[in-house]
């Protein structure tokens, strides 16, 4: 029973911290504000998370731990590059749609302290070198164009992140403030993004081959 109560309190804190961090960023947020949002006293908040930084890291870990095991397994798998890119888009877009606060949250922290943010993301198990190696192996095998793998990854991230980050504006400008219509559009867009990326890296004729 105590364990259930502990889990519930921790979840309440993480949800509250997410709201406060999203509105004010890391520097602008105060532990007292987070405690108030969670409906607990500050002493209890410090019992669970001693510092604001630990709380910040916990939010990232909670979000990314849901996606990393799947991503890691597909990177190491024998699936085709087409299948791998499709899985990445499905998983990553799904993560963003379930956590729409994440893009703006990350953008705030990119400008505040990019090194700290990178260390937090890497601590969840995300390793860019594994992704680079995956694409480089596909290039050596002649399956995709020879290019900087960072170009592919940045294109993938941009195409997945921007529509979610700009969601409130896109809904107003193009979807008459209808969130349901925009969410449906984002679901269908997964296929568009996959086709766009594959078209940009595919070897169209023998002259493109390394």
Question: Which of 37, 56, 75 is the last residue in one of the domains?
Answer: 56
- Does position 6 have pLDDT exceeding 60, yes or no? no
pLDDT for the residue numbered 1: 43
Same domain, 116 and 23: no
Q: What is the DSSP letter of 207?
A: G
pLDDT for the residue numbered 115: 87
Q: What's the predicted TM-score (pTM) here? A: 0.75
- Does position 37 have pLDDT exceeding 90, yes or no? yes
Rounded Cα distance between 68 and 75, Å, is 10
pLDDT for the residue numbered 113: 80
Return the sign of the alpha-carbon dihedral for residues 48, 117, 134, 208: positive
Burial class (CB in 10 A: 0-12, 13-18, 19+), 50: exposed
Same domain, 27 and 105: no
Query: Which residue from 178, 14, 50, 129 is spatially nearest to 22, judged by alpha carbons?
Result: 14
- Does position 206 have pLDDT exceeding 50, yes or no? no
Residue 20: which CATH number? 1.10.10.60
Same domain, 48 and 70: no
**What is the band of 180 on the pLDDT scale with cuts at 50, 70, 90?**
very high
pLDDT for the residue numbered 9: 92
Per the structure, how many domains does the chain have? 2
Same domain, 75 and 153: yes
pLDDT for the residue numbered 49: 94
Rounded Cα distance between 197 and 184, Å, is 21
Question: Which of 56, 76, 98 is the last residue in one of the domains?
Answer: 56
pLDDT for the residue numbered 165: 87
Q: Let me know: does 32 contact 55? Beta carbons within 8 Å.
A: no
Return the sign of the alpha-carbon dihedral for residues 196, 201, 202, 206: positive
Same domain, 51 and 101: no
Residue-wise pLDDT for 69-116, tens only, equals 566 777 788 899 999 999 889 888 888 888 777 787 777 778 878 888
Q: How far is CA 209 from the centre of its chain?
A: 33
**What is the band of 200 on the pLDDT scale with cuts at 50, 70, 90?**
very high
- In the block, which residue shows the tokens 């596909």? 138
**Window from 13-17, 38-42, 62-66, 136-140 with minimum mean pLDDT:** 62-66
Residue-wise pLDDT for 13-24, tens only, equals 999 998 888 788
Same domain, 16 and 105: no
Same domain, 82 and 133: yes
pLDDT for the residue numbered 24: 81
Domain containing 42 equals 2-56
Residue 95: which CATH number? 1.10.357.10
Question: Which of 13, 39, 56 is the last residue in one of the domains?
Answer: 56
Same domain, 197 and 119: yes
């Amino acid at each position: 029973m105590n364990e259930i109560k502990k889990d519930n309190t921790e979840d309440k804190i993480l949800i509250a911290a997410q709201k406060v961090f999203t509105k004010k960023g890391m520097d602008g947020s105060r532990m007292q504000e987070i405690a108030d949002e969670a409906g607990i006293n500050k002493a209890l908040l410090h019992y669970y998370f001693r510092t604001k930084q630990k709380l910040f890291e916990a939010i990232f870990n909670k979000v990314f731990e849901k996606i990393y095991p799947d991503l890691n397994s597909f990177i190491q798998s024998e699936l085709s590059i087409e299948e791998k890119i499709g899985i990445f888009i499905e998983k990553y877009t799904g993560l963003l749609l379930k956590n729409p606060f994440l893009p703006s949250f990350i953008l705030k922290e990119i400008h505040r302290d990019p090194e700290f943010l990178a260390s937090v993301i890497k601590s969840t198990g995300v390793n860019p070198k594994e992704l680079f190696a995956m694409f480089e192996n596909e290039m050596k095998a002649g399956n995709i164009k020879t290019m900087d793998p960072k170009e592919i990854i940045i294109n993938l991230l941009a195409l997945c992140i921007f529509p979610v980050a700009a969601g409130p504006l896109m809904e107003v400008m193009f979807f008459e403030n209808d969130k349901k219509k925009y969410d449906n559009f984002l679901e269908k867009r997964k296929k568009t993004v996959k086709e766009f990326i594959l078209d940009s890296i595919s070897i169209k004729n023998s002259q493109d081959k390394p």
